[in-house]
Amino acid sequence: MRKKIFLAIASIIILIIIVLYITSRPTSTEDGAFSPSPLALKLATSSTTDFDNTSYENKYTGNKKVLMICTEERNMIMANGKKFSTGNHPVEMMLPMLHLRNAGFDIDIVTPTGKPVKIEMWAMPEEDEDVKAIYSEYKQQFENPKNLSDFVENAMDNNSDYIAIYIPGGHGAMLGLPKNKDLNKLIHWSYDKDLFMLAICHGPAALLAANLDSDKDSFVYKGYKIAAFPDAVDEQTPMIGYMPGKMPWKFGEKLNNLGVTIINQEADNTCYVDRKLITGASPQAANDFGKLAATELLKDVNK
């Protein structure tokens, strides 16, 4: 009898191991990359969001806009050489967009060369009507964004159309943007013009572009505190198949080396304001981050 019970338990354990192994394998894509495994999608994404449709008093009615910098690159080459199919995270991008729009701010979308925005469609909350609505509203801009290079060369100097720069998250923010010379110029211009800088999750990685032509002691965000996606969590996610391998580099570590302090240790709903830099830790922070950004921008225009 004992032997039968033991064998039954052993069979269940083996079955669980097999199921976990299968469901934690990253899913291959048509271009030879990998998107998150079924297990990772179950644990890390949702069909809805916590967007609360906040109504803002003293809604902005002027002409100043938000300039959103998005990635045009899809695949991140991991430390093992495998490619992770990424882009900008739709929740981290669109919940803040919804709040900014509710507060009265229009949004212009740019990518480095004007190629379409890459979005992690596997993370799209398909049952969230608010997210689906703003995605449809901006779909043409996502597919035909403005060109950051053209903006920097032809429209940046003396431009007074914008109140903030916004860098949404998703691992795609680590592709190209941290080494982009045009983004370097844009960050320095926005900093000198005292514009807001908004960045969530992996978005702060793009702030590294500000240090391309200077030493670490002159990094414009040296001494700042931020919320961002922790390197330690990125180290763990391959275990559930979120990514097909270890990260190729750690953006938090690089920001730390430039004098930036990341205040959160978990991928949670932490948000933080340090002067004109507003940051959030993860998709869980997207709603609060959007509200915080909208509120701070309204304070500025209504003071």
- Residue 270 CB-half CA count within 13 A: 16
Give CA–CA dist 274/244, Å, rounded: 35
Q: Which residue among the candidates 201, 243, 258, 293 is catalytic per the annotation? A: 201
Q: Give me the residues paired with residue 66 across strands.
A: 107, 164
> Per 3-state DSSP, what percentage of the chain is helix, strand, and coil (rounded to 5)?
45, 15, 40
Give CA–CA dist 126/158, Å, rounded: 41
What would you measure as the largest C-alpha separation in the chain, in angstroms? 84
Following DSSP, what letter does each residue of 39-84 receive, concatenated? HHHHHH--SS-----PPPTT---SS-EEEEE-----EEE-TTS-EE
201 part of the active site: yes
Tokens 């179950």 sit at which residue? Answer: 42
Following DSSP, what letter does each residue of 146-171 receive, concatenated? EEHHHIIIII-TT--SEEEEEE--SG
Catalytic residues: 201
